[in-house]
Chain A
Amino acid sequence: MERRTLPGRLTWQLGEVVTTQPETARTKSITLIVPNWMGHQAGQHVDVRLTAADGYQAERSYSIASPPEEAPRVTLTVERLDDGEVSPYLTEELRVGDKLELRGPIGGYFVWEAQMGGPLLLVAGGSGIVPLMAMLRHRAAAGGSVATRLLDSSRSYADIIYRDELDRLVKNTTMLEVVHTLTRAQPPGWTGYHRRIDPEMLREVAWSSDQRPLTFICGPTPFVETAAASLVTLGHDPARIKTERFGPTGEA
């Protein structure tokens, strides 16, 4: 891995919203220009801080969806949690031209760079797709052809985040396969998986353990634990499986 300068203690900085893009009924992408952005790796996250008029502050972590190649533009995809303190503001109130306080990039563990190779197995639950999308976008931007499979679990067809872009990536790049499972509702004629992720599904979709895939799993905690435990049962090396769980206090 290339030598990096010391990141130093994290400091808050302001980004300006330049575009917003609804992804699904519950998720929205927010693209910011962050003037002093130091660059990032696919898979890293930022902390976002909101400050109320009375001084009350709330912080949440959000994965970066955009690839390093787009810096200093940084895109976050945020899922609205109805009882959340931060995500309703980000998805409903924030407008182009608004400033947002953030710090990052954060994390050096759950990251993938093209030169790390593969084969690459990505397993996403819901908005867990976000940091994995940064990896897929980085893979495409870097012109890489690392053999890659994405297993993407969504509630319904309409809840598939980045659905059209994933279709385009599959058509326009080589060695990429995307497999969807729809856990709650399926459109008429759906022939794909229609259940929660389980060992049988991973046995069918994941690379075999002797191909030693590099695996990134992101989703809600129970999803991540099921996926990781299933892969280990199938003989995959735990040291090649990296996980990122998210939940109510870390709306990834």
Chain B
Amino acid sequence: MMENKLDGNAAAGTLQEIFPFEMTLAQVTCTGCGTTNVIGATAAYMHGMGTIVRCPVCDTVLIRVVHARGRYWLDMRGVRVLEISVEA
């Protein structure tokens, strides 16, 4: 599969395999620039090898998810805070 810039919406299915919440309204604070965005408003790149979620302001990699051989690898080095509303 080719690289393809999408929105955080596109990563929602993958993230909701891991987190038991609706994740497009979860807020991420970027370690790069400090801005906070909902995941639905981030940029997502879907590769054959995995999903990359980037900050829409400074392009820092927020989250990388790889699902292979029966396990998930979740690299969240770009996320200072992940805030999940359980009421929305």
- Chain A interface (Cβ < 8 Å from any Cβ of B): 1, 3-4, 6-10, 45, 47, 59, 61, 103-104, 106-110, 221, 242-250
B58 at the interface (CB under 8 A from A): no
A247: chain B residues at CB < 8 Å are 4-6
With A1-B88, A7-B21, A9-B20 already in contact, the answer to whether A106 and B6 are too (CB < 8 A) is: no
* Given known A221-B4, A245-B5, contact A107–B20 (CB-CB < 8 A): no
- B40–A245 CB distance below 8 A: no
Please judge, given known A-B contacts A1-B88, A109-B38, whether A7 and B5 are in contact too, CB under 8 Å.
no
Q: Which of B10-18, B28-36, B75-83 contacts A (4 or more CB under 8 A)?
A: B10-18
Q: Does A106 contact B20, Cβ atoms closer than 8 Å?
A: no
- A contact residues around B41 at 8 Å (CB): 109, 242
* A103 touching B13, Cβ below 8 Å: yes
Say if the beta carbon of B9 comes within 8 Å of chain A.
yes
Give min CB distance, A46 to chain B, whole Å: 9
CA distance A249 to B14 in the complex (A): 13
* Contact, CB under 8 Å: A108 / B16: no
* A221-B5 contact given A107-B40, A242-B40, A250-B46, CB 8 Å threshold: yes
Given known pairs A7-B22, A9-B20, the reply for A221 and B6 (CB within 8 Å) is yes
